[in-house]
């Protein structure tokens, strides 16, 4: 029978720790409960799992996977639509809806702060100019990022 114990392959003579058993059980449960991940996790097994303390009160788990399995799992990535950046970009487009975003610049200050400049379509200036402060406040509240909305300066050649 296939059990969570098959997800750990230790060196000869070594028994897995209780924590490693719990990590293997989590992989086993994830494989059996999620049909999307089942084929990807079927061949995965671990050699070792270590729990580390990191900044503050947080903990991290380091999982050691055999080198020959690494190549198979390196190609598995999260789709762009599910990343936080894509979600924040979608929220930004929804916040400024009547206008279109024609440009975006990120400015880094010396103290490490990051300010995003969003350039809106100048054709919609009359409809959106009085809403710029509202756009900034709503986006800051939803995403926690500082944003400045502007209209691009038309260059005459």
Architecture of 81-150 per CATH? Answer: 2-Layer Sandwich (3.30)
- Tally the C-alpha atoms within 13 A of residue 27's C-alpha that lie toward its C-beta: 23
**Dihedral pair phi/psi, residue 50, rounded to 5°:** -130, 135
Residues recorded for the chain: 157
Q: Report pLDDT for 120.
A: 93
Which runs of consecutive H residues, i.e. helices, occur in 16-131?
Answer: 18-33, 35-41, 67-74, 84-95, 125-128
Pairing of strands 48-53, 59-64: antiparallel
Q: What is the DSSP letter of 15?
A: P
User: Hey, what are 131's tokens?
Assistant: 């809403």
Q: What percent of the chain has pLDDT over 90?
A: 20
> Using one digit for the tens of pLDDT, what is the confidence trace for 79-119?
777 788 899 999 999 888 878 999 999 999 899 889 999 99
Query: Considering the entire predicted model, what is its pTM?
Result: 0.53
Pairing of strands 59-64, 114-120: unpaired
Checking if the pLDDT of 156 tops 90, the result is: no
* Residue ranges of domains in the chain: 4-74, 81-150
Banded pLDDT at 40 (limits 50, 70, 90): confident
Contact 79, 71 (CB under 8 A): no
- Tally the C-alpha atoms within 13 A of residue 99's C-alpha that lie toward its C-beta: 25
Q: Report pLDDT for 73.
A: 67
> Using one digit for the tens of pLDDT, what is the confidence trace for 119-148?
999 998 888 888 888 889 999 999 999 999
């Amino acid at each position: 029978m296939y059990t969570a114990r098959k997800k750990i392959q230790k060196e000869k003579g070594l028994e897995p720790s209780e924590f490693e058993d719990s990590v293997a059980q989590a992989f086993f449960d994830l494989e059996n409960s999620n049909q999307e991940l089942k084929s990807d996790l079927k061949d995965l097994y671990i050699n070792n799992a270590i729990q580390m303390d990191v900044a503050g009160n947080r903990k991290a788990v380091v999982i050691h996977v055999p080198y020959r399995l690494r190549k198979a799992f390196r190609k598995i990535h999260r789709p762009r639509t599910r990343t936080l950046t894509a979600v924040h970009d979608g929220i930004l487009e929804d916040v400024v809806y009547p206008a279109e975003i024609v440009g975006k610049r990120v400015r880094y200050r010396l103290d490490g702060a990051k300010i995003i400049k969003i350039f809106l379509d100048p054709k919609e200036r009359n409809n959106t100019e009085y809403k710029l402060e509202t756009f900034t406040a709503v986006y800051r509240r939803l995403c926690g990022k500082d944003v400045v909305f502007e209209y691009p300066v038309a260059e005459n050649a």
